[in-house]
Amino acid sequence: MTETWRLKPPPVTELDGWQYLGWHCCWCGSLLREGARSAGRAEGHSGAHDLSIEVYECDPPCPERPTEIEPE
């Protein structure tokens, strides 16, 4: 079996309101006017409530985006 490696976005608890709503880059916090792309799913829970949401990043890729990846 081959493992896939994928860069995970920051957890929901590290996002501000605008990043959570998809208006700002999840890595640098810049306003996403044009050319945004999905960065994946930010995971998070509050008790039994799933707060996970798809977040977005700058396109071309954000310079503050980490280069290390984790196994999926």
21-60: per-residue pLDDT in tens? 999 999 999 999 888 999 999 999 999 999 999 999 998 8
pLDDT of residue 2 exceeding 80, the answer is no
**10 confidence band (pLDDT: 50, 70, 90):** very high
The Cα 36–Cα 25 span in angstroms is 8
59-70: per-residue pLDDT in tens? 887 888 887 666
**Please, what's the b/e burial string for 33-69 (b: 16 or more CB within 10 A of its CB; e: otherwise)?**
eeebeebeebebeeeeeeeebebbbbeeebeeeeeee
pTM of the model as a whole? 0.80
